[in-house]
Amino acid sequence: MLIREIIETAEVIRDPYLRATTYAKIGERLARVRDAKFKLVFLKAIETTREIDDPVKTFRALLSIGYSMKKAGLRSAKKIYQRVLEDSRELPDPVRDDLMVLAARYMLGLGEINEAIIYAMEVKNPSLRDTVLLQIIRRNTSLIGTEKVRVAYRIRKSKMALENISTEPHRSKALIEIMKSYFLLSSYENGIATIREIEQREWAKYAFKEALFFLKERGVIEKYVPNLKELAKYLVGKFGDDFKIELGVAFALAEEPVEAADLLRKLDGDKALVEVAIRLLEVAPRYLPSFIRVLNEREATEVGRALMNRFLENPDEGDWETIRAIWERSRSEEIRVKIARYSLVKGDIDGAMKVVEHIENERLRSIVLADIAHRLLKMGDVSRAIDVALEVRDPKFSSILIAEILIGALDREIEAKVIVNGKAKNHS
Amino acid at 319: D
Q: What's the pTM?
A: 0.73
- Identify the band that residue 414 occupies on the pLDDT scale cut at 50, 70 and 90: low
User: Where residue 153 falls among pLDDT bands split at 50, 70, 90?
Assistant: confident
Per-residue confidence (pLDDT) for residue 22, from 0 to 100: 92
Contact 196, 182 (CB under 8 A): no
Q: Residue 212's closest CA among 267, 275, 256, 266? A: 256
Phi, psi angles (nearest 5°) of residue 335: -65, -40
Inform me whether the pLDDT recorded for 1 exceeds 70.
Answer: no
The pair phi, psi for residue 76, each rounded to 5°, is -65, -10
Of 262, 250, 178, 177, the closest CA to residue 209 belongs to 250
115-128 pLDDT per residue, tens = 999 999 999 999 99
Residue 419: is its pLDDT beyond 50?
A: no
Burial of 408 (0-12, 13-18, 19+ CB in 10 A): middle
Are 16 and 52 contacting, i.e. CB atoms less than 8 angstroms apart? yes
Confidence of residue 233 (pLDDT cuts 50, 70, 90): confident
Which pairs from 115-120 meet CB under 8 Å and 24+ separation?
Answer: 115/78, 115/81, 117/157, 117/160, 117/161, 117/164, 119/81, 119/85, 120/161, 120/164
- In this structure, the strands spanning 418-420 and 423-425 are antiparallel
CA distances from 263 to 16, 183, 244, 245, 397 (A): 66, 23, 8, 10, 47
Residues in CB range of 244: below 8 A, 6 or more apart: 232, 236, 263, 264, 267, 268, 272
Is the pLDDT at 158 greater than 90? The verdict is yes
- Give dist(CA 335, CA 322) in Å, integer: 13
Within 10 angstroms of residue 137's Cβ, the number of other Cβ atoms is 30
When comparing pLDDT for 32 and 393, which is higher? 32
Percent pLDDT > 90 in the chain is: 52
pLDDT averaged over every residue in the chain: 87
Per-residue pLDDT band at 37 (split at 50, 70, 90): confident
- Mean pLDDT of all residues in 380-395: 72
Residues 306-333: pLDDT tens digits? 999 999 999 999 899 999 999 999 999 9
Q: What is residue 423's predicted lDDT score, i.e. its pLDDT?
A: 52
Q: What's the pLDDT score for residue 413? A: 67
Residue 75, pLDDT score: 85
Q: How far apart are CA 12 and CA 253, in angstroms?
A: 63
CA distances, 99 to each of 31, 62, 64, 86 (Å): 26, 11, 11, 12
